[in-house]
Amino acid sequence: MSPMEQVPLWAAIPVSLLLIIGGLLCVTGALGLLRLSNFYQRIHGPALINTLGAGCFLIASMLFFTVSQSRPVIHELLITVAVLLTAPATTMMLARAAVSRDRRSHRPGVPPHPGQAEGEVHTGSRKE
Amino acid sequence: MSSLVLIVLLPFLGSCLAALLPANARNWEAWLAGSVTLGCAVLALLQYGAVAGGDVLRTTVSWLPQYGLNLIFRMDGFAWLFTLLVSVIGFLVVLYARYYMSPEDPVPRFFSFLLAFMGAMLGVVLSGNLIQLVLFWELTSLTSFMLIGYWHHRADARRGARMAFTVTATGGLALFAGMVILGQIVGSYDLDDVLVAGDLVRAHDGYLWVLGLVALGALTKSAQFPFHFWLPRAMAAPTPVSAFLHSATMVKAGVFLLIRFWPVLAGTEAWSLIIGGAGLATLVIGAFLAIFQHDLKGLLAYSTISHLGLITLLLGIGTPLAAVAAIFHTINHATFKASLFMAAGIIDHETGTRDLRQLGGLRHLMPITTTLAMVAAAAMAGVPLLNGFLSKEMFFAETIDVSGSMNWGLPLAATLAGLFSVTYSLRFIHEVFFGPPARDLPRVPHEPPYWMRFPIEALVLACLVVGVVPGLTIGPYLHLAVVSVLGGATPEYSLSVWHGFNLPLLMSVAALGGGVLLYLVLEKCLPVRSLDKVPLLHRFDGQREFERVLMAVTGFAGRVQHRLTSQRLQPQLMWLVLVTLIAGLLPSLRGVTDLRELPMALDPAFAMMWLIGGICAVAAAYQAKYHRLAALALVGGTGLVVCLTFAWFSAPDLALTQLAVEVVTTVLILLGLRWLPRRLEPKELGIQASLRDRVRRSRDFLIATLGGGGMALLAYLVLTRDQSESIADFFLEKALPEGGGTNVVNVILVDFRGFDTFGEIAVLGIVALTVYALLRRFRPAPESIHLSQQQDDPEGYTPSKDAEEGSLLVPGLFMRALMPVLMVVSIYLFMRGHNMPGGGFVAGLVMSVAIILQYMVGGTEWVEEKLPIRPHVWISSGLLLALLTGLGAWVFGYPFLTTHSPHPVLPLVGEVPLPSAFLFDLGVFSLVVGATVLVLIALGHQSVRSHRSSAKAGDTPDENRQRGAIRWS
């Protein structure tokens, strides 16, 4: 018996849709990580997975288990909070590390440290 | 508890107690040690009634009865006499030491070792089992090492202690071997069985081995020629130690052993040759050397050697009458030598020097000490009406007795040695107390405090009383000891002072007269004072030989080590893996291998996951040499797959733990990676690996592949085995009813296998402390000692400043917010551990992850300012809690670590399962937190230190920045 047969159709359709959309978002994020040209662009891929992708899965999970167990199941909110707390922190630290590295090697287009002379900011240039 | 056990146990207990007293508590220490020694003496005295009746008291404490190994304490007349001797002289030495030790000396150590030594000595005396005797024997070597090296800031004390220990402990090993052979011959290690089996032993083929090995043990301990050299060097010890060790105990242990086994081993030609020969040589050489010593204690040391030689020679002679004389002289020597050492100590204490050439005329300043020392020295020289005279005359009589009318060698040698002993006694008294008063002494001498002199008075009185009326004083006790050793062979002997005019008396007179004459001649013709070297015998330098042998042995060991071992890690690992591989393959060679199918169909998703994990693992191995960071990330991928595998196969406990372990390990390795210098690829260096290197790498690759493949195969074989007969069922069945928990893994950890877990957490604590200790002395490679590029911010942002206001402000805030959440998770995991996935270990790891996070975003200094963590306290309290929980079971009469699962009903909450394993788990939790954080802090502090050392090295920030900076072009 497939798990989806445990829930009525009205619930199965949104759950399936959310899972498919989440999966597509994940693939998109992964492709972005693979294909985008520099670090500052690539970092958006995992962010997409972390937020939208994971969000879809979490909602799908809540819906599925609430309906199948006939009681509100909202543990996923805890996961949401944890992801919301950690994902930005990780991303930020990664980005800071990249900025610091680029500044050190005097890479053109990297913003200087606050309080120093402003430079031109353009993060879109490809790696030469 | 039996009083025999108590006699041995009491000094050890006192030793532990003495060690705990404060450093300046001289009086408390003396009271404690005094009451312990006196207690032992009284306990021994109380046994007199039973022992005098001819009984042998025995107390057996069962240990390994099936191997004939029990703790047996046994007291016969001889052991009784020795016990009394040791404890009474011990008491006097303690009293003396109270005044001798200066307030600056750390007395707890002194009294602690002294009492432990006394306990070991009493253990030797009262042992009723051969193995037990050797154990206490080695304990005396060990504790005497501590005592001789008491002033360990002095090089001569250290050297003397090491020499004494090396010689006597080596002898102890020989003795051990001898005792094992003896026990095998007799068929029992029980002393009572051995003592009656003398004929069997002497007729046995292994007799010579036993004799040689036991003699080696006894002769080294008793400082007999040629092993005598350690004793004079042991004079670097504090004088109370010398007085105790070299009168009644340490060196007497060897004599004790020979007397103890006299009924078993004596009476053969080999015995007389080995024991008697060594004794004779020691007697004459020791007495001769003693004459030419300039150090007061050195003179006494050589005279001790000589007197021990006398006793050994008496035992070697092998007649029962000689054995009587040996026992008698053992006691006499103990009394007068202890008092002489103490007198020497007083002189040293009062004048500040022990050099005979400096001292003189002290009789005017210290009349009482002079008198006492003169009486004791006269006893040593064998002057009539003193105890030394009696035993020495018995000795002379024996030498005549065994030599017959034709052979005059032995009596002549004995007379010569007696003559020498008169000379050195005379020199001791004359040069210290008579002659012109010494000038420019380091201190102005005066009489010592009364209680410092009291021990000498008591001992000298004993010498005198025994010397005048031996039959009334020592007679019955000596007889008791003699009968218990010799049994039916006890001869008729007379202790009276006057035997009429006979040959022994003539020898005594000759020795006395000759000794005085020799001293006068030496004074006139050969000024002893100006001699630097001992005439004739200075070439026999035992110390030099000892050091030569030691050097040769050390060099040999070094060469062997150099040949057979390697300091490099790679060959060691290669051999380890190879041996494991072969050992693992051995069973398969016998045809046990049967490869069965895995019992379940492979899920494609699972297979995919494992493919990813495998790729990560192989890639990590591939990258490990030049790109460590990438390798670490890849290893993390493999670890995640392992976690998922555990979860997949319904082992949430393992999955949780694995996850936490992965996180912590990754962070710790990251911290360590910073100290590995960067490795350049051959391409960058423009070199090519030689053929030899390629061959070696291929070989290593092959071994690695085989090793990994073998492990996989092994795992596969185990997994496909029939699982019907496993211990798992037992645990699954008993976990709830007997362990009080539904989480079987946790119940196994804290209950069924609680003792294992206890050992494991102890190891974990030890490892953490070791890592900490190693890192305290960590010296990084020169390439990585400088600040890393990442640590050196051009704008001068330190990590802590960065966390306060810099780029890490926002992540830092997030992580700080996460800390309480993680703590709640940790507590939650801990609380539910007994019934649901979780437990102390995981909870501890989660807790340390919470702390690690703070370190990561805040930097070491920032966190330690805000969050003082004392990992040592966590570790020790965790270990203590686990231990106390385990011990708690004893209170209720159950074995160690028995779990109790009460279910108290609390108000509001209701029934709560509260097994004692819960407390144990709390200990595990605390220890895991402490150990993890300790390692983390130790590693984290390296960075702090590198900031400092970089500043010390004078690196300018620019230099740092240029070093290894990535060029972006």
User: For residue B854, what pLDDT is reported?
Assistant: 85
pLDDT band at residue B966 under the 50/70/90 scheme: very low
What residues in B contact A104, CB-CB < 8 Å?
Answer: 789, 794, 961, 965-966
What residues in B contact A78, CB-CB < 8 Å?
Answer: none
The pair phi, psi for residue B192, each rounded to 5°, is -60, -40
Q: Kindly state whether residue B931 falls inside one of the protein's structural domains.
A: yes
Go through B311-332 and write b for each residue having 16 or more CB atoms within 10 A of its CB, e for each that does not.
bbbbbbbbbbbbbbbbbbbbbb
pLDDT digits (tens, 9 = 90+) for B813-827: 888 888 888 899 898
Q: Kindly state whether residue B32 falls inside one of the protein's structural domains.
A: no
A16 interfaces chain B, CB cutoff of 8 Å? no
pTM, to two decimals: 0.69
Q: Which of A9-18, B362-371, B800-809 has the highest mean pLDDT?
A: A9-18
What residues in A contact B790, CB-CB < 8 Å?
Answer: 97, 100
Q: Kindly state whether residue B101 falls inside one of the protein's structural domains.
A: no
pLDDT digits (tens, 9 = 90+) for B524-576: 776 666 666 666 666 666 777 788 888 999 999 999 988 888 888 888 888 89
Domain that holds residue B825: 740-962
Rounded Cα distance between B201 and B944, Å, is 70
DSSP string, B74-135: EE-HHHHHHHHHHHHHHHHHHHHHHHHS-TTS-HHHHHHHHHHHHHHHHHHHHB-BHHHHHH
Q: Kindly state whether residue B902 falls inside one of the protein's structural domains.
A: yes
Contact criterion met (CB < 8 Å) for B966 and A105: yes
Rounded Cα distance between A26 and A35, Å, is 14
Partner-chain residue, chosen from A90, A96, A104, that has the shortest CB–CB distance to B965: A104
Contact criterion met (CB < 8 Å) for A89 and B815: yes
Of B154, B59, B150, B171, nearest to B107 (Cα)? B150
pLDDT band at residue B796 under the 50/70/90 scheme: low
pLDDT digits (tens, 9 = 90+) for A12-62: 899 999 999 999 999 999 999 999 888 888 888 888 888 889 999 999 999
Domain that holds residue A40: 7-104
Q: Kindly state whether residue A33 falls inside one of the protein's structural domains.
A: yes
Q: Kindly state whether residue B943 falls inside one of the protein's structural domains.
A: yes
What's the domain count of chain A? 1
pLDDT band at residue B968 under the 50/70/90 scheme: very low
pLDDT band at residue B599 under the 50/70/90 scheme: low
What does pLDDT average to over chain B?
Answer: 84
Distance to chain A for B20, nearest Cα, Å:
52
Q: Kindly state whether residue B510 falls inside one of the protein's structural domains.
A: no
Q: Is the dihedral of CA B242, B247, B249, B252 positive or negative?
A: positive
Q: Kindly state whether residue A56 falls inside one of the protein's structural domains.
A: yes
What residues in A contact B795, CB-CB < 8 Å?
Answer: 113, 115-116
pLDDT digits (tens, 9 = 90+) for B291-310: 888 888 989 999 999 999 99
Of B631, B626, B622, B632, nearest to B682 (Cα)? B626
pLDDT surpassing 60 at residue A128: no
pLDDT band at residue B358 under the 50/70/90 scheme: confident
pLDDT band at residue B963 under the 50/70/90 scheme: very low
pLDDT surpassing 50 at residue B695: yes
B interface toward A at CB cutoff 8 Å? 789-790, 793-795, 807-808, 810-811, 814-815, 817-818, 821, 857, 961, 965-968
Partner-chain residue, chosen from A89, A99, A115, that has the shortest CB–CB distance to B811: A89
Q: Kindly state whether residue B815 falls inside one of the protein's structural domains.
A: yes
pLDDT band at residue B897 under the 50/70/90 scheme: low
What's the domain count of chain B? 1
C-alpha distances (whole Å) from A30 to each of A20, A34, B411 are 15, 6, 105
- Dihedral-angle region of residue B686 (phi above 0 means left; psi in -120 to 50 means alpha; beta otherwise): left
Q: Kindly state whether residue A126 falls inside one of the protein's structural domains.
A: no
For the beta carbon of residue B22, count every other beta carbon within 10 angstroms: 9
User: For residue B539, what pLDDT is reported?
Assistant: 63
pLDDT surpassing 80 at residue B784: no
ipTM: 0.80
User: For residue B911, what pLDDT is reported?
Assistant: 63
Q: Kindly state whether residue B811 falls inside one of the protein's structural domains.
A: yes
pLDDT digits (tens, 9 = 90+) for A64-115: 999 888 888 888 898 888 888 888 888 888 888 888 788 777 777 776 665 5
Q: Can you tell me the mean pLDDT for B829-833? A: 83
For an interface test with A, the pick among B795, B809, B828 (most A C-beta atoms closer than 10 Å) comes out as B795
User: For residue B596, what pLDDT is reported?
Assistant: 61
Q: Kindly state whether residue A127 falls inside one of the protein's structural domains.
A: no
User: For residue B956, what pLDDT is reported?
Assistant: 53
User: For residue A57, what pLDDT is reported?
Assistant: 93
